[in-house]
């Protein structure tokens, strides 16, 4: 069983055991009493975890919660605008920070998946968020770390970007702020239940998971602005074609390997996009969705037709395990 920041064991609360109203009341109290008269800061990505944390924090602290959307240049098409306007509609002011250049600078020349994660984590916590916190003087960070993040990181399956204290990283000493993690006992289904109870719209609680390193996790090799743009376009097509089927998760991956294709009767050495679409309950195991061939062929037609340089599309047919949901 994973241990929390004070070395205490973290006890999972399963979806069926979660009383959302009591849990919300408890967490609002914890946040209020920890932060006291001070302000807290949090980063909203639009994912269900950070959205629930934003709603809880706003409930506890009102305008004393400063919510930032860090535009790292690795988001999906139109995502920064969509998320900010959705929360504005709920009465929560979201400050969008353009940090694209700093992230791409941090990612320059980085090819190894773990190094990419690390570069993004560092750019986020130390540089961009560190700056925000230092300038603001705010000493409390609310964060949506969940039970699966901790578990997978501790087990060595995947180093989640938001797991810090569980790895012995003292954020107060290292980054100058204290991290509050109200969702650390919950997995995704419980967090979704909470999102509904908090009155968040389906766009939030029905939203498939999206990785911390965002589209950088969907590019094999270096995540340059050009390569992120290719996978962003392919991702939009995949979501347009598959979201209606409500899979657990579906996305596009840009490979670094190049393959031969042909256009107008001539050889073209181009890119390959891999599509993954998963059936799963909670991401611990997963199977490829049995998409009809009409859908697969239309995906390939659209991606090769609409995304410049892409000549080949594959569909992943492996279960998790031995695959993982994401490729990197």
Q: Which helix (H) or strand (E) holds 141?
A: strand 140-142
Decide whether 32 or 316 has the Cβ nearer to a copy of itself: 316
Least distance to a copy of itself, CB of residue 273, Å: 9
Report yes or no: 130 and 99 within 8 Å, Cβ to Cβ.
no
Two structure tokens written together for 10: 């973290």
Burial of 196 (0-12, 13-18, 19+ CB in 10 A): middle
Query: Least CB distance from residue 230 to a copy of itself, whole Å?
Result: 15
Q: Which is nearer to a copy of itself, 71 or 152 (CB)?
A: 152
Residue 104 Cβ vs a copy of itself, minimum distance, rounded to whole Å: 21
Tokens representing 17 are 């055991």
CB 274 within 8 A of CB 303: no
Specify the residue, 32 or 314, whose C-beta has the smaller distance to a copy of itself. Answer: 314
Q: Report in angstroms how near the CB of residue 253 gets to a copy of itself at its nearest.
A: 8
CB of 1 to a copy of itself, least distance (A): 15
- Is the CB of 66 or the CB of 218 nearer to a copy of itself? 218
In what order do the strands lie in the sheet containing 178-180? 94-98, 65-71, 40-43, 140-142, 178-180
Which residue lies nearer to a copy of itself by CB, 188 or 255? Answer: 255
Bridge partners of 98, per DSSP, are 71
Q: In the complex with a copy of itself, which residue's Cβ is closer, 12 or 127?
A: 12
CA 191/CA 203 separation, integer angstroms: 14
Whole-number minimum distance, CB 51 to a copy of itself, in Å? 26
Alpha carbons 43 and 50: distance in angstroms, whole number: 7
Q: Nearest approach, Cβ of 326 to a copy of itself (angstroms)?
A: 7
- Chain-centroid distance, C-alpha 184: 16
* Closer residue to a copy of itself, CB minimum distance, 27 or 320: 320
Tell me the closest approach of the beta carbon of residue 268 to a copy of itself, in angstroms.
7
Q: In whole angstroms, give the CA distance from residue 227 to residue 250.
A: 19
Q: Which value, in Å, is the radius of gyration of the alpha carbons in the chain?
A: 20
Angstrom distance (rounded) from CA 224 to CA 297:
28
Longest dimension (CA), the chain: 70
Q: Which is nearer to a copy of itself, 29 or 269 (CB)?
A: 269
Nearer to a copy of itself, 192 or 227 (CB): 227
Q: How far is the CB of 270 from a copy of itself (least distance, A)?
A: 8
Nearest to 12 by CA among 23, 44, 21: 23
| Residue 98 burial by Cβ neighbours in a 10 Å radius (0-12, 13-18, 19+) | exposed
Q: What residues line the site for a copy of itself (CB under 8 A)? A: 113, 155-158, 220-221, 255-263, 265-270, 274-275, 287-288, 290, 293, 296-297, 299-301, 304, 311-324, 326-328
Angle, in degrees to the nearest 10, between helices 20-35 and 188-197: 90
């Amino acid at each position: 069983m994973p241990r929390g920041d004070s070395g205490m064991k973290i006890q999972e609360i399963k979806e069926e055991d979660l009383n959302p109203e009591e849990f919300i009341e408890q967490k609002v109290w914890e946040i209020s009493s920890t932060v006291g008269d001070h302000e807290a800061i949090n980063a909203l990505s639009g994912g269900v975890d950070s959205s629930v944390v934003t709603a809880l924090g706003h409930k506890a602290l009102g305008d004393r919660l400063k919510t930032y959307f860090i535009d790292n240049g690795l988001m999906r098409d139109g995502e920064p605008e969509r998320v900010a306007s959705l929360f504005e509609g709920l009465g929560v002011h979201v400050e969008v920070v353009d940090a694209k250049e700093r992230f791409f600078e941090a990612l320059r020349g980085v090819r190894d998946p773990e190094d990419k994660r690390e570069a993004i984590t560092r750019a986020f916590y130390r540089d961009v968020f560190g700056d925000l916190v230092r300038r603001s003087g705010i000493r409390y960070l609310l964060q949506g770390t969940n039970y699966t993040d901790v578990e997978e990181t501790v087990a060595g399956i995947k180093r989640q970007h938001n797991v810090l204290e569980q790895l012995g990283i003292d954020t107060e000493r290292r980054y100058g702020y204290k991290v509050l993690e109200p969702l650390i006992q919950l997995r995704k289904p419980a967090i979704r239940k909470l999102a509904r109870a908090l009155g968040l719209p389906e766009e939030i609680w029905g939203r498939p998971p999206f990785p911390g390193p965002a589209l950088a996790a969907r590019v094999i090799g270096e995540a340059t602005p050009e390569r992120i743009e290719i996978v962003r376009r392919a991702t939009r097509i995949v979501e347009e074609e598959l979201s209606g089927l409500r899979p657990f998760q579906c996305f596009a991956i840009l490979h670094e390997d190049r393959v031969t294709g042909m256009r107008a009767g001539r050889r073209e050495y181009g890119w390959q996009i891999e599509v993954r679409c998963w059936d799963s309950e909670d991401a611990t195991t997963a199977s490829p969705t049995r998409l009809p061939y009409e859908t697969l062929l239309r995906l390939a037609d659209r991606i090769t037709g609409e995304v410049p340089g892409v000549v080949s599309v594959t569909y992943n047919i492996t279960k998790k395990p031995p695959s993982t949901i994401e490729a990197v």
